[in-house]
């Protein structure tokens, strides 16, 4: 019945519901003596924050994190880091009309069936609000693994896709637009699509690409706890994610072995990198890159048929705040989860 | 440094190298009092066995499993089940010429770097031979979760793909051909492609689709240990796998929320199933279906450039036995890993 | 480097230092739908609280716990329960003179050596203040296992010991005196001893006995995770504890097998209970009873020789607040840890 | 239902029943590149072996261990070490008369109640035969932590006790007599007591003392996974153990803090060592010493009243092979478990 801890060595445990008093967590296993940049943590949270731009949900949350322990005079002590983010904009009454209904493609029905009892306010525990705690954990993890760079960006929204590979793009541009796509023209198209859908109360999915550079050789534990397996678990644990591929991924299935094999240079690097930086479950020092699919958000500002706890179907008007597309806000979450995976193998 | 155990409740730990004396494992957490069909376990092993048909590797292994404990008078006792499969066809000398070389896109290089020391014979621990132990574990798991059906099949080999969805296919045909594709015509094309490549010493990748029916509602532990996250980890832990998607997957990223949402019937089932049987990390009782991408096998029977431990590149002729396409033999492995995931949540 | 989580199924993770902003924790794995009596939790905290009587430390802490999640409309939801207890009486400056010194028989030296960096204020993480979070976890655990009764009491302080067994005592009297010893006369002697030592700035150890009744048959997982092994770990994880024995314990080593064996009644109960309610690592339904040894508190209000970080010895006067004997306050902690062990096996 | 794995980093999983085909296990997490002395492992097994002297059970087992994996050309590879010990002297028929009976103070009753089904032959999984696998794991662990010395000895059998402390004894004498007591005169008395009891078919308990020297500073993870807590769990997981105390232990409860505190020398060592080498859950570099209580063996070669599965009491004559006192054979088991605990923290 548990499942709220990620990692075996660098462990993040999170708690909190969307409209409870607070969300928060504990990081256990953080090495001692690491200088922690609290401003950086807040900056990461701001990248995930609602209301950060016109194309995301307008829920009002400052998402200010408070630390209770584990950091003393600016440095980690090796003891658990407890933290909390108050829920400022909780509006239970916004959800009273949904109390007895299961929204389609949400967790309402499955939580009710599994637990027999649920906090129905805004999805309760199943809300993506929980991912703010992952961003806190990831921002600390990034400071542990700090020579490694992790960069994620939106590579498609609906049918609008980047056609270039990550190494043909200028990744310093990711944060220069609201969509977090490092190509202005494509970003612009994505933004327009999202705005149009927002007007209609509809939503759209997309794909995030993540690139990890300067990875030390040797991360990953075969046979089950391979690096790619842990990354896959991490990414599929993010709300609304539907798929994961690394290196050549699904496209690589159509290649011949003689094309796909990555031949060595004398220094141990490889001439190509279809392997995506991982061989036999262990990093080989080349760039790790992977893609994560996200479905369209299930919350619509449209009339939708819902199922009542009594087994009746009823059309109910969606209302309130929503993301027409989670991709821009999911970028820091993907990075955070990648950082947690890497920290878990490194410490 | 560990990583050889899968599962938290129904736990499979495996051991063994490709050319050591034996491979084997321990299943801990198996409920007591379950009648175990040993013939079924052997049948499952035979589906993965080398030499089972002309399109797979001709390594000679009978893959007979011996059980040491945990089963008494035909029934499980709740104590750990220890088992062993002897390696009959170990030929260390076949690999002596590779002792000081790293094959491209294999684990040779990363194992050497991580552990500083490796069993180079046939890939040692990184060989897919280890997956026989997963099939043993999965075959027992299937007997624990026996009302649930798990069926995997080859849905593409290279560019040859099934165009029909799983519910348009006759899944009883899966085992009727060597490729394990439930459409004779497509299977025939796949088989021909594999045979052609085998002649050239080349290899090809492909995709396996897996369908799970009669799933109880409520499996999966949000937020990190979601059902789809555990399935993703399980699938990406299989040798040569490169991607995982469930339900609408990557294609679903181009849909609108108004199209993608699965509306309810009054009995709690849904009219469509883009969710792939999982909502909020928890099974909703609908079919679970997912796809796993496999890269082309890295072992080629061609001349290939390899890196020596001294940092020199040298062309070496591939020789011996190999799979031109792992897909047919990977089908029971995908099923086994799915069974292990489900058993872990059910017991 | 971690180690701040107790339990595998019902998991308590704690955080917090003695003089940081707050201590707290997360309970993961709590079943859904359990009515939680918040007043009971506070009552348990009050039993551990400083300042509760004249014989304990006079640090001023109201120890009011705040819950953030996992409880909705009075019932558990199956999601993690996050909680926090503010540190009200933190006085960093009280410890400035100890910043560069290691107190004898404290964790100052070992924390410094292990982590290279430490929060020196009042012992930081090594302070027994952390156990307040265990009491919160235990108070919830008690409500999960509510048909089972757990009663601990002080059975010796220094050389003053109860001579009667638990079943010859009236356990309803435990809370009727400040020492938590269910025999007024003995309690009185213990109290006088503690008061005398308090005047001298000295301390004393003692023994707590714990009795668990109405235990279901079948708790405990051989071979390593035996019920007695988990209880032993739980008890030895409490600050200042030095030993654990259950059933006949150390005294039982002098008995013959023919005396020690517990012969059955026809209903499966036993005529004697030297086994202490556990056979083969599994509860047999009889009372579980065990004893935990506690050393004298290391903090003295006397002049003591300490080691500086520079390797110099110096006499420093102890000052401030202290417990002359931890036993009375340790009673609810022993109970809490026992409850956590039982809940972990039951859920 | 699991519980057959010890350790989090250096993990030993065991399997096997007393009269099944074999017992065995897997060690996962062993570092790579360690030279393994297989003869030493066998020597350790021989110290635990039945039939090694006149005062232990005469069951005939050569206890030869076979390794399947993880060791290549004499060195560990970092992959799991699978091993097996055949049961040579299994005699199922010796136990047919006990099939429907629960022996007093054995695990027969609790296993039947917990699992509903059990291997009744010689205690099945609950037999101390399983501990041979711990000795294998411990013998490898000892080679990992090889600068640390672990020495256990029998310090009491029944009422016959060593009165000297470990540092007043010549520990090189431990293996010089059958009892494993490093004082000839006391050993002789113990041996005579055991022989007398053996004649009567009765049994006796005792205490093992264990001393660990050359311990690095910093082992142990507060707050729950303290070094002493893990040692306590390890020791209480051994069959027939009833108690654990370290350092001053139960006797220390009668001391004043001013007597009990271990004052520092300038080099960080302490003048006394009541702490038993552990402060705040972390080793401080001083000797670790602890004592483990063992009850008298429950198997008697006398007529005893047993409970049938139908709820009837019947006197049954004990027969076959038995240990009148487990202490001599438990010495290497205590050492093995201590080695496993230390290896788990060190690697």
Share of chain D above pLDDT 70, in %: 99
Instruction: Give B264 to chain D, closest Cα distance, Å.
Output: 37
Cβ-based contacts of C29 with chain A (< 8 Å): 1-2
What is the pLDDT at residue A125? Answer: 95
Interchain CB distance below 8 Å, B282 and A14: no
Interface test with C, best of D225, D253, D281 (most C CBs within 10 A): D253
C119/D222 Cα distance (integer angstroms): 14
Least confident of A299-313, B46-60, B196-210: B46-60
Q: Check residue B330 and give its pLDDT.
A: 98
Instruction: Test A80 with C24 for CB contact under 8 angstroms.
Output: no
Q: How confident is the model at residue A18 (pLDDT cuts 50, 70, 90)?
A: very high
The SS3 of residue C325 is: coil
Nearest to B244 among A6, A232, A264 (CB): A232
Chains in contact with D, where contact requires at least 3 CB pairs less than 8 Å apart: B, C
Nearest to C69 among A5, A20, A32 (CB): A20
Q: Which helix (H) or strand (E) holds D21?
A: none
What dihedral angle (degrees, nearest 10) is formed by the CA atoms of B332, B338, B344, B346? -110
Is there a contact between B80 and D14 if contact means CB atoms under 8 Å apart? yes
- Give residues 106 to 165 of D whose Cβ lies within 8 Å of C: 106-107, 109-111, 113-114, 125-126, 130, 156, 158-159
Report the gap between the CA of C118 and the closest CA in chain A (Å).
6
Rounded to whole angstroms, the Cα distance separating B327 from B314 reads 30
Task: Round to whole Å and give the CA distance between A82 and A76.
Answer: 12
Which chain A residues touch B243 with a CB distance below 8 Å? 243-246, 249-250
Could you give the C-alpha distances from B78 to C225, D4, D119, D124, D234, in angstroms and in order?
Answer: 14, 11, 10, 11, 22
Residue among C105, C253, C264 whose CB faces D294 most closely: C253
Do D15 and B70 count as a contact with CB atoms less than 8 A apart? yes
Collapsing DSSP to helix, strand or coil, A334 comes out as helix
Taking CB atoms and an 8 Å limit, are C84 and A82 in contact across chains?
Answer: yes
For residue C302, list chain D residues with Cβ-Cβ distance below 8 A: 258
Considering only the top CATH level, what class is A5-346? alpha beta
Contacting residues of D for B78, CB less than 8 Å apart: 1, 114-115, 117
Is A257 in CB contact (< 8 Å) with chain C?
no
Helix (H) or strand (E) holding D222: none
Asked if C17's CB is within 8 angstroms of A26's CB, the reply is no
Residue B1: which pLDDT band, with cuts at 50, 70 and 90? low
Average pLDDT over residues A4-15: 98
Q: What is the CA radius of gyration of chain C?
A: 21
CB within 8 Å of chain B, chain A residues 2-21: 2-6, 14
Candidates D107, D224, D275; nearest CB to C105: D275
D295 marked as binding residue = yes
Contact D268 C229 (CB under 8 A): no
Q: Flag whether residue C77 sits within 8 Å of chain A, measured between CB atoms.
A: yes
Is 90 exceeded by the pLDDT of residue B40?
yes
Provide the 3-class DSSP secondary structure of residue C81: strand
What subunits make at least 3 CB pairs under 8 angstroms with C?
A, D
Q: How many helices (H) and strands (E) does chain A have?
A: 7, 18
* Mean per-residue pLDDT of chain B: 95
Confidence of residue A319 (pLDDT cuts 50, 70, 90): confident
Angle at CA D205, nearest 5°, toward C208 and D278?
A: 50
The beta-carbon neighbor of B28 closest among D4, D114, D116 is D4
Task: Enter the tokens of residue A87.
Answer: 């829920």
Please give the share of chain A, as a percent, with pLDDT higher than 90.
Answer: 89
CB hemisphere CA count around A42 (13 angstroms): 10
CA–CA dist A341, A337 (Å, integer):
6
Instruction: Work out how many CB contacts closer than 8 A connect C with D.
Output: 350
A226 inside 8 A of chain B by CB: yes
List strands edge to edge, sheet with B75-77. B32-35, B75-77, B71-72
State whether residue A86 sits within 8 Å of chain C by CB: no
What pLDDT is stored for residue C27 in this prediction?
98
Reported as a single tens digit per residue, the pLDDT across B126-136 is: 999 999 999 99
Q: Is B336 exposed, middle or buried (0-12, 13-18, 19+ CB in 10 A)?
A: buried
Of C15, C31, C76, the CB nearest to A69: C15
CB C323 within 8 A of CB C203: yes
DSSP string, B169-207: S-GGGGGGSTT--S-HHHHHHHHHHHHHHHHHT--B-EE
Q: List chain C residues with CB under 8 Å of A67.
A: 21
Instruction: Inspect the interface and report whether the beta carbons of A280 and B242 lie closer than 8 Å.
Output: no
Contact assignment for D250 to C207 by CB distance below 8 Å: yes
Model confidence band, residue A1 (pLDDT cutoffs 50, 70, 90): low
- D2 and B32 in contact by Cβ < 8 A? no
Which tokens sit at A111?
């939580």
B1 contacts: CB under 8 Å, gap ≥ 6: A221, D9, D29, D30, D31, D32, D78, D347
Contact state of B24 with D68 under an 8 Å Cβ cutoff: yes
Neighbours of C132 (CB within 10 A): 26
Contact state of D69 with B4 under an 8 Å Cβ cutoff: no
Question: From the CB of residue A175, how many other CB atoms can be counted at a distance below 10 Å?
Answer: 14
Q: What is the mean pLDDT of residues D223-252?
A: 98
Question: How many CA atoms lie less than 13 Å away from C336 in the CB half-sphere?
Answer: 27
DSSP run (H or E) holding C340: helix C327-346
Helices D227-236/C227-236 angle, 10° precision:
160
C116–A24 CB contact, under 8 Å: no
ipTM: 0.98
- Would you call B345 helix, strand, or coil by DSSP? helix
The residues that bridge with B313 in the sheet, in sequence order, are B307
Picking from D27, D100, D108, D110 by the largest number of C CB atoms within 10 A of its own CB, the best residue to mutate is: D110
State chain A's mean pLDDT as an integer: 95
Question: Of C15, C32, C66, which is closest to A116 when you measure between CB atoms?
Answer: C32
Return d(Cα B219, Cα B341) in angstroms, integer: 10
What would the pLDDT profile of A47-73 be if each residue is shown by its tens digit? Answer: 999 989 988 888 888 999 999 999 999
Q: What is the mean pLDDT of each run of 10 residues along chain C (347 residues)?
A: 93 96 97 97 96 87 96 97 94 81 96 94 92 98 96 98 97 97 98 95 97 98 98 98 98 98 98 98 98 96 94 88 92 98 96
- Closest chain D residue to the Cα of C313, Cα to Cα: D266
Q: Looking at the partner chain, which of C1, C15, C28 has a beta carbon nearest the beta carbon of A5?
A: C28
Beta bridge partners of B210: B152, B290
For tokens 């010893």, the residue is C181
D324 annotated to bind ligand: no
Determine contact, residues B303/B318, Cβ cutoff 8 Å.
yes
Tokens of D195: 């022989």
How much is the pLDDT for B128?
A: 93
- B304: tokens are 């290939």
Q: Which of the four pLDDT bands, split at 50, 70 and 90, describes residue D89? A: confident
Q: Which residues contact C22 (CB under 8 A, 6 or more apart)?
A: A68, A69, A82, C16, C84, C85, C86, C87
Assess A304–B contact: CB distance below 8 Å, yes or no. Answer: yes
Which residues between 194 and 223 in chain A have a beta carbon less than 8 angstroms from any beta carbon of chain B? 197, 202-207, 217-218, 220-223
Hey, are the CB atoms on D16 and B68 less than 8 Å from each other? yes
Alpha-carbon span C26 to A133, nearest angstrom? 13
The domain segmentation of chain D, as residue ranges, is 5-346
> pLDDT confidence of D1, banded at 50, 70, 90?
low
Report how far residue D321's alpha carbon sits from residue D318's, in angstroms, rounded to the nearest whole number: 9
Q: Which of the 8 DSSP states describes residue C119?
A: -
What's the confidence (pLDDT) of residue D98?
85
pLDDT tens-place string over residues D240-288:
999 999 999 999 999 999 999 999 999 999 999 999 999 999 999 999 9
Q: Which pair of structure tokens corresponds to residue C241?
A: 């504890």
Write out pLDDT tens, residues B71-122: 999 999 999 999 999 999 877 777 788 899 999 999 999 999 999 999 999 8
What are the tens digits of pLDDT across the range B288-347? Answer: 999 999 999 999 999 999 999 999 999 998 777 789 999 999 999 999 999 999 999 999
> Which has more confidence, D93 or D110?
D110
Q: Considering only residues B65 and C1, tell me which one the structure prediction assigns the higher pLDDT.
A: B65
Q: Express each pLDDT in B124-180 by its tens digit.
A: 999 999 999 999 999 999 999 989 999 999 999 999 999 999 999 999 999 999 999
* Interface list for D 47-76 with C (CB within 8 A): none
Q: What digits encode the pLDDT tens for the residues B223-240?
A: 999 999 999 999 999 999
């Amino acid at each position: 019945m548990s499942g709220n801890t990620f990692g075996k060595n660098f462990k993040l445990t999170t708690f909190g519901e969307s409209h409870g008093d607070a969300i928060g967590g504990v990081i256990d296993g953080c090495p001692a003596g690491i200088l922690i940049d609290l401003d950086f943590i807040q900056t990461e949270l701001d990248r995930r924050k609602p209301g950060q731009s016109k194309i995301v949900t307008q829920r009002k949350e400052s998402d200010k994190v408070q630390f209770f322990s584990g950091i003393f005079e600016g440095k980690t002590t090796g003891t658990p880091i407890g933290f909390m983010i108050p829920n400022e904009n909780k509006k239970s009454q916004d959800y009273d009309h949904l109390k007895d209904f299961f929204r389609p493609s949400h967790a309402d029905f499955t939580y009710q069936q599994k637990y027999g009892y649920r906090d129905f306010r805004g999805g309760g525990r199943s809300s993506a609000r929980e991912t703010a705690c992952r961003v806190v954990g990831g921002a600390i993890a990034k400071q542990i693994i700090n020579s490694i760079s992790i960069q994620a960006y939106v590579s498609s929204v609906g049918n609008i896709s980047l056609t270039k590979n990550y190494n043909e793009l200028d990744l310093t541009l990711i944060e220069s637009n609201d969509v977090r796509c490092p190509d202005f023209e494509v970003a612009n198209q994505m933004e327009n699509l999202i705005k149009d859908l927002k007007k209609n109360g509809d939503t759209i999915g997309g794909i995030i690409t993540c690139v990890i550079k300067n990875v030390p050789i040797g991360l990953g534990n075969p046979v089950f706890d391979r690096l790619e397996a842990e990354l896959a678990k991490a990414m599929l644990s993010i709300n609304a994610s539907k798929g994961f591929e690394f290196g050549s991924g699904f496209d690589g299935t159509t290649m011949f072995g003689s094309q796909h094999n990555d031949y060595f240079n004398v220094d141990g690097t490889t001439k190509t990198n279809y392997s995506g930086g991982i061989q036999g479950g262990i990093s080989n020092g080349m760039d790790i890159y992977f893609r994560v699919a996200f479905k369209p958000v299930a919350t619509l500002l449209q009339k939708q048929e819902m199922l009542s706890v009594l087994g009746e179907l009823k059309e109910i008007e969606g209302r309130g705040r929503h993301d027409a597309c989670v991709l821009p806000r999911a970028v820091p979450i993907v990075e955070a989860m990648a950082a947690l995976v890497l920290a878990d193998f490194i410490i």
